[in-house]
């Protein structure tokens, strides 16, 4: 399992301030920590960056890669900023992301082809997130077809079904899992797949997050997920993931945590109604 590290993001107030002030120190600290924790890619999210994106992204890329030997996942909706970062990136970057939305498909795939980059493709159109796994696969197939026509091959794509919070749309959790399972059949050779794992426990209390995130990750990996976007240093979440993987294979955790995992599985499968206190 590959991991894209998620912590360098403009949605983090400290990171946003560091980007604004061009203070690279806290950003490099996060890059080094995530690299040491064993990630395969480091996501660098600057958001839309409408004012200074084409200057900000290459500054970040060069500064991080001068200190950390890791490929980056360049995360912005600003195509000019994306290209500026790709021009200076060492090795094969990931573009985060294309989608079926107007203006988010062909331009990003063209950049992927031009710079020999990998690319995340979100299963979303102008109508929003599809209702179920079948509709997600229809969008995914269109994205694959468009990418291949432009010159991006399936193994360089990461399809993302888009995870919705279990606290808001509980029934969507297993639709995303089934989407991951179905993505493998859309092309030969198959694409890779990714999810923003933290979306599943968005809105959950802190004590629930590792159980929800780790158990959901086990379901996704069993379905064929290749590359979650998450914090590689979240030891508690990955401990739950290991235990949940055992439960899914018919084994029992050694320390008696099987009950919490079973309760979480029932929530994710919508067999029990979600409650913030479902663990008891």
Q: Which residue has the tokens 């590959």?
A: 2
Give the 3-state DSSP-derived string for 15-65, with helices as H, strands as E and coil as C. HHHHHHHCCCHHHHHHHHHHHHCCCCEEEEECCCCCCCHHHHHHHHHHHHH
What is the Rg, in whole angstroms, of the alpha carbon atoms belonging to the chain?
Answer: 19
Residues in a beta bridge with 195: 228
What distance in Å separates the CA atoms of residue 70 and residue 63, rounded to the nearest whole number? 12
| Number of other CB atoms surrounding residue 1 within 10 Å | 11
**pTM value surpassing 0.85:** yes
Domains and CATH numbers, the chain: 4-209+225-230 (3.20.20.20)
Give 163's contacts (C-beta < 8 A, 6+ positions apart).
172, 173, 176, 195, 196, 197, 199, 200
pLDDT per position as a tens digit, 146-199:
999 999 999 999 999 999 999 999 999 999 999 999 999 999 999 999 999 999
What distance in Å separates the CA atoms of residue 180 and residue 95, rounded to the nearest whole number? 20
What spatial distance separates the first Cα and last Cα of the chain, rounded to whole Å?
32
Give 69's contacts (C-beta < 8 A, 6+ positions apart).
35
Token couple for 15: 């990171």
Over residues 44-63, the mean pLDDT reads 96
CB 74 within 8 A of CB 47: no
Token couple for 2: 């590959």
CA count, 13 A, side-chain hemisphere, 129: 14
pLDDT per position as a tens digit, 250-262:
988 777 799 999 9
Residue-level pLDDT at 263: 96
Residue 50: pLDDT band (50, 70, 90) is confident
What distance in Å separates the CA atoms of residue 64 and residue 245, rounded to the nearest whole number? 34
What distance in Å separates the CA atoms of residue 278 and residue 120, rounded to the nearest whole number? 34
């Amino acid at each position: 399992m590959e991991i894209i590290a998620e912590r360098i993001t403009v949605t983090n107030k400290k990171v946003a301030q560091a980007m604004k002030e061009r203070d690279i120190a806290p950003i490099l600290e996060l890059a080094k920590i995530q690299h040491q924790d064993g990630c395969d890619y480091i996501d660098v999210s600057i958001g839309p960056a409408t004012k200074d994106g084409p200057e900000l992204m290459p500054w970040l890329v060069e500064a991080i890669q001068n200190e950390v030997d890791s490929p980056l996942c360049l995360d912005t909706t600003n195509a000019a900023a994306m290209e500026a970062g790709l021009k200076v990136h060492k090795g094969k970057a990931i573009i985060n992301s294309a989608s079926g939305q107007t203006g988010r498909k062909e331009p990003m795939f063209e950049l992927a082809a031009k710079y020999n980059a990998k690319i995340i493709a979100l299963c979303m159109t102008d109508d929003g997130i599809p209702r179920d796994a079948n509709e997600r696969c229809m969008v995914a197939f269109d994205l694959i077809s468009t990418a291949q026509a432009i010159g991006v091959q399936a193994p360089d794509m990461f399809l993302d079904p888009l995870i919705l919070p279990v606290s808001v749309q509980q029934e969507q959790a297993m639709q995303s899992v089934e989407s991951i399972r179905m993505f493998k059949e859309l092309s030969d050779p198959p694409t890779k797949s990714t999810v923003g794992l933290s979306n599943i426990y968005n809105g959950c209390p802190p004590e629930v997050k590792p159980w929800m995130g780790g158990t959901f990750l086990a379901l996704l990996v069993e379905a064929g997920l290749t590359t979650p976007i998450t914090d590689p240093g979240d030891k508690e979440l990955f401990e739950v993931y290991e235990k949940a993987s055992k439960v899914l294979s018919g084994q029992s955790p050694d320390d008696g945590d099987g009950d919490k995992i079973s309760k979480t599985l029932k929530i994710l499968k919508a067999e029990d109604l979600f409650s913030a206190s479902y663990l008891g």
